[in-house]
Amino acid sequence: MAAAAAPAPAVSMEGVTKRFPGVVANDGVDFEAAPGEVHALLGENGAGKTTLSHILTGLYRPDEGRIALYGKPVEFSSPREAIDAGVGMVHQHFRLVSRFTVAENLVLGDRRGAGRNFHIDPGAIAAQVRELGDRYSLPVDPRARIWQLSVGEQQRVEILKALYQEARILILDEPTAVLTPDEADTLFVTVRKMAEEGRTVIFISHKLHEVKAVSDRVTVLRAGKAIATVRTADATPQSLAELMVGREIEVVTREGHAHPENVPVLEVEDLWADGDRGTVAVKGVSLTLRAGEIAAIAGVSGNGQRELAEAIAGLRPCTKGTVRVKGKVVHNGDARAAFQAGIGYVPEDRLGTGLSPTLSISMNLSLKSFRRESLGPFLRLHAMRDKAVDAIRTFGIKSSGPEQETDELSGGNLQKVVISREFSAHPSVLIAASPTRGLDVAAVEQVHSYLLGAAEEGAGVLLISEDLDEILALNDRVLVMYEGGLTEADDRTSVSEIGLRMAGETPSP
Amino acid sequence: MNNSLVVVLVASGIAYGTPLLYAALGELLAERSGVLNLGVEGMMLVGAVMGFWTVQRVHANTGVALAAAIVVAAIIGAALASIHAFLVITLRASQIVSGLALTIFAGAVGLSSYLGSDLNLAGAPAAHQLTAVFPKSMQDWPVVGPIVFGQNVLVYASWACVVLIWLYLSRTRPGLNLRAVGESPAAADTMGINVTAYRYAHTLVGGAFAGVAGAVVTLAITPQWVDGITGGAGWIAIALVIFAFWRPELCLVGAYFFGALQALAPQLQARNISLGPTVLWTNALPYVMTIVVLVIVSSGTARSRLGAPAALGVAYVREER
């Protein structure tokens, strides 16, 4: 039977290659998405998902390859042309002007609606935005300024922006990274609705369960290459994970157990601390961490987790409250005192806070211990070098040697340098803030096993993470941080309970 | 009545404040696009010397000669700004270093003073100068006479510029795009706005304004050429943009305030009112305030609280990974 002429795919990319100095971000990628389809683009960090989408939105120009939209070949030399062709994108890091109102953000560069005139009438624009929000049940106040909105609301503005431009092809880049589980569910409903209207949604993610939940088909990218395209219904999370990583993976899991008999290694009592902008970020947090225990702190970023970690590690003065390590009070706001008391800290910002980027690996490894190891004012460079060689071997840090500057290392290897430095002091408390963010699956596995190892050796581990999978895999207890306050989940395995608490609600018993 | 200290101070405050106002408006446009140009003083001086040269050398009636001088000053200002624009927008050099270099290159001991002596401009009074537009009878009206009707054409033009720039920024689409470019070039870029074009255009227009500001000095306020004749007005203008929270209407208020301060000392002297060393203070005040405000805004948080464009001083790179 002769197949009826299939409708032209909404997007078709053939042999798309994009090179950056030293890397091939996309290597001959073929990709196709049909109208009315939710097509997931799955891959690890650095697999080339974002680069591919930037090519489709005209931000980057491909070095090789052909792109066609609805059967018509296109070649974008600017974002403007992509917008005019009906391609819209919701960027992972929102591209909104924070001092503008919602309405002003929507009409930027507008050529169709009330904003296309030379003269701008804020009233007419606001009305248009409100109508659009009603139509897609994405309510936002058009006159609100972006900086006043929550992250979830800002994402709504980004989606509205694309719809306002009448995008027929909508790319969502890691849209759930900043959302609570509930907000993510609402987003999925919106995504399905847009697909039912005949729009094509390209959903970029590295989270398997989301891809399963929302997409019709999945294209898996690995190291810049499109490995496979499969129907979501035919795939299992396991099979997708293997395609993504290129080998079988072991998922680190842990039987959570309480350690009521162990000694408390960290006691935090009624801790208050200010954020960078002078607002109160941590509001009366108390917690006890026992030896050998992994306590995970969940929460959407920006709820005071970073400030709490820094306050405990002595990097941020507490305005009130005490921190005790093994019963002894740690001097407030004194990072060296905290370190000497036995607190190890793996910060969220590993290259800025965790390491000194222009120093060598060996210098960085000795940053906290050189006082003990030096000969008077002189550093013992040979000893430091030997120690670095040891660490490189033990932790498998890929580098050209102990003299390599740390800003030349990849994310995973940077994290290993930080971890090996913090571990070498045998801390009794280890604070790890988003320790696997941006790492590939293999490095995540390793970091997880280091954290488990630290707990087994008797350290109390405080794991701060936005990644619920990670939290569920590693915790003995789950604490949730919301607007500076900390609550403890009753059920350490219940996603719904943790989700509710992340949104600031207390589950009814 | 028209001789009362207040009326005279307001009238001459407006006259002395006009170069500051032009320079500040130009700097405001550049900064709203995210480009900080510390070369204002240099661009003003070269505008001043070239404007003065034009009236000395163009043999035409007063109106034509003055119009030509203003156009020449604007073009030379824009030309100098284009050096800065190329360095900081295309080559992404440090805006602070490039702006300072521009002032040193063009300023009091640089290009402007070379041109002044090479073209033999010093010592001669201006062949033409800007004078009051309205007839003497109107200038004699009480109070409004000297203040409103006693000014030259560039003063009235500057009022129009304030209104037009205010409308442009708040009520037009290109103005909205401009603000977006200064606040978040990445957002503007994704919306299809040409960040580079906007930055170039506004830096060049800003330079033209600075050139005109210089010409106001040599054609109206002190119609002659002396090395370094602007006396740091370019620096005051940069501080003025900050005082004015990057808003054109407040630039006008600030410029006239500083202009009045400048007029205060000679007026007091003429009236035999002695305030002793106070005069030193009124003369120094604009510079002291400039230094204070520049110190305050060197902290990023203070700057954003005052309403500085968020991307001010930051080059935009699209293909950054």
Q: Nearest Cβ partner of B187 from A25, A95, A116?
A: A95
| Pairing status of strand A169-173 against strand A200-205 | parallel
Mean pLDDT of all residues in chain A? 85
pLDDT, greater one: A5 or B301: B301
Looking at residue A170, its pLDDT comes to 94
Residue ranges of A 58-87 with Cβ closer than 8 A to chain B: 59-60, 78-81, 83-84
* pLDDT tens string A385-410: 998 998 888 888 888 888 888 877 77
Whether A442 shows a pLDDT value over 50: the answer reads yes
- Interchain contact, B319 vs A99, CB within 8 Å: no
**Which chain A residues are within 8 Å of B184, Cβ to Cβ?**
95-98
What ipTM was predicted for this assembly?
0.81
Percent of chain A with pLDDT over 70: 93
Q: Which of B166, B170, B173, B299 to mutate to test the interface with A (most CBs of A within 10 A)?
A: B173
Rounded mean pLDDT of B216-236?
A: 91
The strands making up A294-298's β-sheet, listed across from edge to edge, are: A343-346, A429-433, A460-464, A294-298, A477-482, A485-488
Interface test with A, best of B191, B193, B303 (most A CBs within 10 A): B191
Q: What is the rounded CA–CA span in Å between residue B205 and residue A235?
A: 59
A114, closest residue in chain B (CA to CA): B173
pLDDT at B127 over 90: no
Give me the mean pLDDT over the A219-247 stretch: 85
- A3 has pLDDT over 70: no
pLDDT of residue A379: 87
Distance between B208 CA and the closest CA of chain A, angstroms = 24
Most confident among A448-457, A484-493, B209-218 (mean pLDDT): B209-218
Q: Which fold has domain B5-306?
A: ABC transporter involved in vitamin B12 uptake, BtuC (1.10.3470)
A23-33 vs A11-20, strand pairing mode: antiparallel
Q: Is A57 on the interface with B (CB under 8 A)?
A: yes
The verdict on B186 touching A (C-beta cutoff 8 Å) is yes
Half-sphere exposure of A6 (CA within 13 A, CB side): 8
Torsion on CA atoms B135, B140, B141, B146, rounded to nearest 10: 90
Closest CA to A413 of A424, A423, A400, A432: A400
What confidence category does residue A6 fall into, taking pLDDT thresholds of 50, 70 and 90? low
Residue in B with minimal Cα distance to A116: B173
- What pLDDT is stored for residue B255 in this prediction? 95
B270/A contact by beta carbon, under 8 A: no
Percent of chain B with pLDDT over 90: 54
Instruction: Sketch out chain A's domains with CATH numbers.
Output: 11-245 (3.40.50.300), 261-342+427-504 (3.40.50.300), 357-425 (no CATH)
d(CA B211, nearest CA chain A) in Å = 28
Shortest CA distance from B177: residue in chain A? A108
The answer to whether A108 contacts B188, with C-beta atoms less than 8 Å apart, is yes
8 A C-beta contact, residue A399 and residue A413: yes
Phi and psi based region of residue A54 (left: phi greater than 0; alpha: psi -120 to 50; beta: remaining): alpha
Residue B299 has pLDDT above 80, yes or no: no
What's the mean pLDDT in A279-301? 89
Show the tokens assigned to A347: 């910060």
Name the closest residue on chain A to residue B190, using Cα atoms: A79
Interchain CB distance below 8 Å, A108 and B171: no
Instruction: Tell whether B30 is within 8 A of chain A (Cβ).
Output: no
Distance, CA of B128 to CA of B55 (rounded, Å): 6
What would the pLDDT profile of A114-167 be if each residue is shown by its tens digit? Answer: 556 777 777 888 888 888 888 877 888 888 899 888 778 888 899 888 888 888
Half-sphere exposure in the Cβ direction for B69 (13 Å, CA): 34
The single residue listed with the structure tokens 């109107």 is B138
Task: Report yes or no: B84 at the A interface, CB cutoff 8 Å.
Answer: no
Q: Cβ contact (<8 Å) for A97 and B179?
A: yes
Using pLDDT thresholds of 50, 70 and 90, give the confidence band for residue A297: very high
- Name the residue in chain B with its Cα closest to that of A121: B171
For A399-432, give one letter per residue: b (16+ CB within 10 A) or e: beebebbbeebebbbbbbbbbbbbbbbebbbbbb
- Kindly state whether A209 is in contact with chain B, defined as any CB-CB distance less than 8 angstroms: no
Q: Are B182 and B312 in contact (CB under 8 A)?
A: yes
Chains A & B: contacts with CB separation below 8 Å:
79
Strands A280-290, A294-298: pairing kind: unpaired
Query: A158 in contact with B at a CB cutoff of 8 Å?
Result: no
Q: How far is CA B222 from the centre of its chain?
A: 16
The predicted-structure confidence for B102-119, as pLDDT tens digits, reads as follows 999 998 888 999 998 888
**Phi, psi for A200 (deg, rounded to 5):** -100, 125
CB contact under 8 A, B191 and A79: yes
CB-hemisphere CA count at 13 Å for A403?
2
User: CA A57 to CA B98: how far, in whole Å?
Assistant: 34
* Contact list, A119 vs chain B (CB under 8 Å): 171-173
- Residue A4, pLDDT above cutoff 50: no
Length of chain A (residues): 509
A280-290/A264-274 β-pairing: antiparallel
Residue A55 is given by DSSP the state H
Structure tokens at B54: 């034009």
CA distance A423 to A451: 10
| pLDDT at residue A23, rounded to an integer | 73
Residue with tokens 């706001």: A333
Tell me which residues of chain B, numbers 296 to 315, contact chain A at a CB-CB cutoff of 8 Å. 301, 310
Delimit the domains of chain B by residue range. Answer: 5-306
Q: Does position A305 have pLDDT exceeding 80, yes or no?
A: yes
Closest CA–CA distance from residue A175 to any residue of chain B (Å): 17
Which residues on A lie below 8 Å from B191 (Cβ)? Answer: 79, 83, 95, 108-109, 161
Nearest beta carbon to residue B192 from set A25, A79, A97: A79
Rounded-to-integer distance, Cα A329 and Cα A508, Å: 37
Polymer length in residues for chain B: 321
Angle at B179 between CA B178 and CA B183, to 5 degrees: 120
A21 touches chain B (CB under 8 A): no
Nearest CB among B172, B175, B190 relative to A91 is that of: B190
pLDDT band at B320 (very low <50, low <70, confident <90, very high): very low
A225/A507: higher pLDDT:
A225
B301 neighbourhood in chain A, CB within 8 Å: 277
The residue of chain B with its CA nearest to that of A78 is B192
What phi and psi, each to the nearest 5 degrees, are found at residue A37? -110, 145
How confident is the model at residue B180, as a pLDDT?
94
A255 falls in which pLDDT band (50, 70, 90)? low
| Interface contact flag, B310 A96, Cβ < 8 Å | no
List, for residues A338-354, the tens digit of each pLDDT value. Answer: 988 999 999 888 877 88
Distance from CA of A88 to the nearest CA of B (A): 9
Which residue of chain B is at minimal alpha-carbon distance from A103? B176
Measured in whole angstroms, how far is the alpha carbon of residue A317 from the centre of its chain?
27
Per-residue confidence at B281, pLDDT binned at 50, 70, 90? Answer: confident
Q: Residue B300 — pLDDT band, cuts 50, 70, 90?
A: low
Q: What is the pLDDT of residues B67-76, one digit of tens each?
A: 999 999 999 9
**β partners of residue A282:** A273
- The minimal CB distance from A97 to the residues B171, B175, B187 is found for B187
pTM for this predicted structure:
0.75
Contact list, A116 vs chain B (CB under 8 Å)? 173
C-beta atoms of B310 and A98 within 8 A: yes
Inter-chain CB proximity A108 and B177 less than 8 Å? yes
Question: What band does B10 get if pLDDT is binned at 50, 70 and 90?
Answer: very high
Is the predicted pLDDT of residue A326 greater than 50, yes or no? Answer: yes
Contacts of A384 (CB under 8 A, 6+ apart): A362, A363, A365, A366, A370, A373
